[in-house]
């Protein structure tokens, strides 16, 4: 029988934002001429032929997305106005024709800063300030265009000048965070070695070519003899035009109306969105667990989960794509497709012409971002207060009827529409997101249901990475051949949490997937293996995909998280020294990014530099003293350093903080057992098992514990569970035999 022992395990490497048949979701290039020769010509070149579209565009927020600061573009009050917010005094004034803000800088002192550009227009306007190294920073004190007053986006929060969220910090860096969606043909041009920018653009706003693509091929063709003879080419030389496919139009909007990660400065323009970016799925990190908007999620993630999108409704059905304005007002817009009965009291049970009778107030709940920007959820969902009663998710009924409970609202809907609700993918996604012993069946069902939205199925694949069972492994391996690239991408990412023997002979085909993001994920998966572990026929595909992966990672390194992504990559590949350098570089850019310290400490530990590993974890605990994972890792490290009292103290802290990590209770229980504290050990192990009943190590530890306590009946219970979970493991056979199993 094996002797139980406590081991220090390096914490799991954080995933980075982070081959399949080419027939899967294959996209033709929307332009049947080589795009390499297509160049940007500027919006003015479009005006003479597209007069109305151009006129509409000049009234849009897109046209006003970013402008040089002057008397006609600056909306804020710069008449020596003072505004105090969260302990910082801001003064807005002019010198000649130039605009200035006196405010707290990156050294904690107030300075005068010249405003170079306006940023945005309605409902708020921010201002851009130039800093050394080509950086431009966006102010957090903004002008409320609606109320005509200054306000602070983070009202009530005192943000330290060294904080990532301070207006001089990385979170408000225009080059990385904002520029690509407020200019046309942006080239970020970040220099990694110098840590500076040489950012350029074609047009200082969201111009025609931001959506349609570069226009030189279009102009050449319409001026050609072939066009005048009546010949045509697909999309007339553009990437996207008014009669384009629904998903292609959405992809044009998604570049700015999605929460996403960009893959490279070099855009492929294939018509497949994941060749250029990775959209954020609807996990509970940024969305509510049912898919409703929570953080600043924009519209893409919501709209692609909607029945509207599934039925080929596109953005331009509701919005004039050039002016950005709605095509109709009030319920008239909805009734242009839906039957009149939906605007009647028979349907909505509210008096006509009241707020409750407006379709959008029930089906498009609103949240406020950036202090005063009210945005509506574009998932167009039916209110589900019955889900709110179980899962605590928001619903539009009780958000309007203040003081009423979800149960009250669910009862009212039951009386109006009957007790049974039409199936929605959230019926499986919600219980799946809880990651309990009942979650797996819901996630597998959703993942396999190809009638459900791609983004919901991809989210199911994402959650399944936390359930390392044979059933989940099989479902994820099958999803590697799914028709939808977002599903394939997250299937690959989730397999990172499974042992290589589960996936290494199957997932390598995704190295030659026809979608760049999937190839990158597959390269990252195989990066942790030795080269000889790859099948010979997959090695050339791996090298090509890994080159794309490295390009993707390098593109992120101007941002703190990008350096951590590179560090994770190097640590996975066994280069601890390079990983440490990138972790430290990332923490220099954002000192509060605590999860980087977990892997940094692991890198130090793997090199035997345990005092540095310990110091890293202590720094983490100073920043976040309520994070149980920090104390768990410190306990493991102290045990490795043979400091049992310190290990015990840190395990106890993790327990007191209510850790939901079964490993905490496993290691704590073993340490208590070694000290002869049997009752406390039993209690800790049972608590760990309650968090994960299928944990083989805890079932084994409990069976071993009760055998030592001369209680074979209890020992047999946990050994039987172990045999059911992992019957062929040779390490358990002696125990099974001794207990007569």
User: What are 144-197's pLDDT values in tens digits?
Assistant: 999 999 999 888 888 888 888 899 998 899 999 999 999 999 999 999 999 999
Contact of 266 with 272, CB cutoff 8 Å: no
Residue 406 lies in a domain: no
pLDDT tens, position by position, 428-450: 999 999 999 899 999 999 999 99
| Nearest of 709, 689, 703 to residue 738 by alpha carbon | 703
Each residue's pLDDT tens digit, 607-636:
999 999 999 999 999 999 999 999 999 999
**Residues 63, 57: contact at Cβ < 8 Å?**
yes
Residue 369 confidence (pLDDT) above 60: yes
Weakest mean pLDDT among 21-35, 403-417, 430-444, 521-535: 21-35
pLDDT of 28 over the 90 cut: no
The parent domain of residue 144 ranges over: 66-197
Q: Is the pLDDT of residue 37 over 80?
A: no
Note whether residue 97 is domain-resident: yes
Question: DSSP state, 6?
Answer: -
DSSP 422: P
- Buried-state track 621-633, b at ≥16 Cβ within 10 A, e below 16: beeeeebbbbbbb
pLDDT given for residue 21 in this prediction: 32
> What integer is the mean pLDDT of 289-309?
95
DSSP-derived secondary structure letter, 468: -
Contacts of 715 (CB under 8 A, 6+ apart): 702, 703, 704, 705, 706, 707, 739
Q: Are 299 and 257 within 8 A, CB to CB?
A: yes
User: Does residue 33 belong to any structural domain of this protein?
Assistant: no
- Distances 475 to 431, 480, 497 between C-alpha atoms, Å: 18, 9, 14
What pLDDT score was predicted for residue 244?
66
Phi, psi of 96 (to 5 degrees): 65, -125
Per-residue pLDDT at 17 exceeds 90:
no
SS3 501: helix
Reported as a single tens digit per residue, the pLDDT across 99-154 is: 999 999 999 999 999 999 999 999 999 999 999 999 999 998 999 999 999 999 88
Burial 453-478 (b: 16+ CB within 10 A, else e): bbbbbbbbbbbbbebeeeebbebbbe
Can you tell me the mean pLDDT for 406-424? 96
Q: How would residue 221 be classed by pLDDT, with cut points 50, 70 and 90? A: confident
Q: Distance (Å, rounded) from C-alpha 500 to C-alpha 488?
A: 17
Helices (H) and strands (E) in the chain, counts: 35, 15
Task: Give the chain's length.
Answer: 741
Q: pLDDT tens digits, residue range 318-351? A: 999 999 999 999 999 999 999 999 999 999 999 9
Closest CA to 681 of 640, 639, 709: 709
In a domain, 658, yes or no: no
Residue 649 has pLDDT above 80, yes or no: yes
Is the confidence at residue 641, as pLDDT, over 90?
A: yes
Q: How high is the pLDDT of residue 18?
A: 30
Which residue, chain included where needed, has tokens 């942006």?
A: 186
Instruction: Flag whether pLDDT at 24 surpasses 80.
Output: no
Whether residue 120 contacts residue 62, with contact meaning beta carbons closer than 8 Å, is answered with no
Could you tell me the CA-to-CA distances from 427 to 289, 316, 432, 534 in Å, in that order? 10, 30, 9, 40
Rounded CA-CA distance 367/301 in Å is: 15
Classify residue 92: in a domain, yes or no: yes
Predicted local confidence at residue 381, as pLDDT: 95
Phi, psi of 272 (to 5 degrees): -105, 115
Q: Work out the burial of residue 438: count CB atoms within 10 Å of its CB; fewer than 13 is exposed, 13-18 middle, 19 or more buried.
A: exposed
Gap between the Cα atoms of 633 and 616, Å rounded: 11
- Reported as type and span, the H/E element at residue 374 is strand 373-376
- pLDDT score recorded for residue 48: 94
The answer to the question of residue 668 being in a domain is no
pLDDT of residue 243: 64
What average pLDDT does the chain have? Answer: 90
Residues 6+ apart with CB under 8 A from 475: 443, 444, 447, 448, 464
Please report, rounded to a whole number, the percentage of residues in the chain having pLDDT higher than 90. 75
Number of domains composing the chain = 1
User: For the purposes of burial, counting CB atoms within 10 Å of the CB of 226, is it exposed (0-12), middle (13-18) or buried (19 or more)?
Assistant: exposed
Query: What pLDDT shows up at residue 83?
Result: 96
Helical ranges in 206-330 per DSSP H: 208-212, 216-222, 225-228, 246-257, 300-303, 307-310, 315-318
Q: What is the pLDDT of residue 225?
A: 87
Please check whether residue 99 lies inside any domain of the structure. Answer: yes
**Predicted local confidence at residue 5, as pLDDT:** 32
What is the pLDDT at residue 568? 95
| Closest-CA residue to 272 (of 291, 299, 297, 245) | 245
Q: Does the structure show a pLDDT above 60 at 233?
A: yes
- What per-residue confidence (pLDDT) applies to 591? 87
* pLDDT above 50 (res 305): yes
Task: At 119, give phi and psi (nearest 5°).
Answer: -135, 105
Of the pLDDT bands very low, low, confident and very high (cuts 50, 70, 90), residue 6 is very low
What pLDDT score does 382 carry? 96
Model confidence at 271, in pLDDT bands (50, 70, 90)?
Answer: confident
Work out the average pLDDT over 653-675: 94
- At residue 308 the predicted structure's pLDDT band, cuts being 50, 70 and 90, is very high
Find the mean pLDDT for residues 351-374: 93
Pick left, alpha or beta for residue 369 (phi over 0 → left; psi -120 to 50 → alpha; otherwise beta): beta
Identify the residue with better confidence: 439 or 36: 439
203 within some domain: no
Q: Which helix (H) or strand (E) holds 67?
A: strand 66-68
| Structure tokens that stand for 722 in this block | 């172990």
Q: Backbone dihedral region of 134: left (phi > 0), alpha (psi from -120 to 50 degrees) or beta? A: left
pTM (2 decimals)? 0.88
């Amino acid at each position: 029988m094996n002797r139980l022992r406590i081991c220090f395990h390096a914490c799991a490497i954080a995933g980075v934002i982070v081959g399949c048949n080419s027939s899967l979701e294959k996209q033709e290039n929307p332009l049947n001429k080589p795009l390499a020769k297509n160049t940007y010509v500027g919006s003015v070149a479009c005006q003479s032929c597209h007069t109305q579209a151009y006129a509409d565009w000049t009234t849009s927020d897109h046209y006003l997305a970013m402008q040089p600061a002057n008397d006609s573009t600056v909306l804020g009050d710069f008449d020596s106005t003072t505004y105090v917010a969260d302990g910082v005094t801001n003064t807005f004034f002019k010198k000649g024709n130039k605009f200035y803000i006196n405010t707290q800088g990156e050294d904690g002192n107030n300075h005068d800063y010249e405003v170079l550009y306006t940023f945005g227009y309605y409902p708020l306007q921010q201002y851009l300030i130039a800093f050394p190294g080509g950086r431009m920073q966006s102010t957090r004190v903004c002008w409320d265009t609606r109320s005509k007053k200054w306000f602070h986006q983070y009202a009530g929060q005192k943000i330290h000048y060294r904080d990532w969220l301070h207006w001089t910090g990385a979170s408000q860096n225009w080059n990385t965070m904002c520029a690509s969606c407020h200019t046309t043909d942006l080239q970020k041009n970040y220099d990694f070695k110098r840590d500076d920018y040489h950012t350029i653009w074609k047009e200082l706003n969201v111009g025609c070519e931001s959506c349609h693509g570069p226009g030189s091929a279009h102009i050449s063709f319409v001026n050609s003899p072939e066009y005048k003879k009546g010949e045509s080419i697909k999309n007339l030389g553009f990437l996207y035009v008014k009669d384009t496919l629904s998903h292609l139009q959405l992809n044009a909007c998604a570049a700015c109306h999605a929460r996403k990660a960009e893959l490279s400065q070099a855009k492929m323009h294939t018509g497949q969105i994941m060749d250029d970016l990775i959209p954020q799925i609807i996990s509970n990190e940024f969305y509510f667990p049912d898919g409703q908007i929570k953080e600043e999620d924009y519209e893409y993630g919501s709209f692609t989960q909607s029945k509207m999108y599934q039925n080929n409704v596109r953005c331009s059905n509701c919005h004039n794509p050039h002016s950005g304005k709605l095509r109709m007002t009030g319920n008239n817009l909805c009734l242009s497709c839906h039957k009149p009965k939906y605007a009647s009291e028979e349907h909505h049970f509210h008096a006509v012409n009241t707020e409750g009778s407006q379709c959008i107030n029930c089906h498009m709940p609103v949240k406020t971002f950036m202090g005063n920007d009210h945005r509506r959820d574009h998932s167009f969902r039916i209110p589900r207060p019955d889900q709110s009663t179980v899962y605590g998710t928001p619903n539009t009924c009780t958000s309007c009827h203040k003081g009423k409970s979800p149960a009250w609202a669910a009862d009212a809907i039951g009386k109006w529409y009957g007790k049974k609700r039409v199936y929605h993918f959230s019926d499986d996604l919600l219980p799946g997101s809880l990651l309990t012993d009942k979650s797996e069946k819901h996630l597998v069902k959703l993942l396999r249901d190809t009638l459900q939205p791609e983004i919901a199925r991809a989210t199911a694949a994402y959650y399944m990475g936390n359930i390392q069972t044979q059933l989940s492994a099989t479902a994820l391996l099958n999803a590697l051949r799914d028709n939808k690239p977002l599903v394939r991408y997250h299937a690959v990412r989730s397999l990172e949490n499974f042992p290589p023997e589960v996936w290494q002979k199957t997932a390598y085909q995704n190295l030659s997937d026809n979608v760049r993001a999937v190839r990158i994920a597959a390269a990252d998966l195989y990066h942790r293996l030795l080269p000889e572990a790859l099948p010979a026929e997959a090695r050339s595909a791996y090298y090509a995909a890994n080159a794309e992966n490295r390009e993707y990672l390098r593109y992120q390194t101007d941002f703190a998280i990008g350096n951590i992504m590179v560090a994770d990559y190097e640590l996975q590949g066994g280069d601890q020294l390079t990983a440490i350098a990138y972790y430290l570089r990332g923490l220099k850019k954002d000192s509060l990014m605590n999860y980087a310290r977990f892997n940094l400490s692991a890198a130090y530990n793997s090199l035997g530099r345990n005092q540095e590993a310990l110091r890293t974890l202590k720094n983490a605990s100073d920043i976040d003293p309520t994070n149980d994972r920090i104390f768990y890792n410190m306990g493991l490290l102290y045990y490795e350093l043979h400091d049992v009292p310190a290990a015990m103290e840190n395990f106890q802290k993790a327990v007191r903080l209510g850790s939901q990590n079964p490993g905490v209770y496993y290691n704590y229980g073993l340490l208590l057992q070694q000290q002869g504290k049997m009752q406390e050990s039993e209690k800790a192990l049972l608590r760990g098992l309650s968090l994960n009943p299928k944990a083989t190590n805890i079932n084994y530890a409990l069976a071993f514990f009760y055998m030592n306590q001369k209680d074979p009946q209890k020992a047999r219970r946990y050994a039987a569970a172990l045999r059911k979970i992992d019957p062929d493991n040779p390490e358990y056979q002696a125990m099974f035999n001794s207990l007569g199993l």
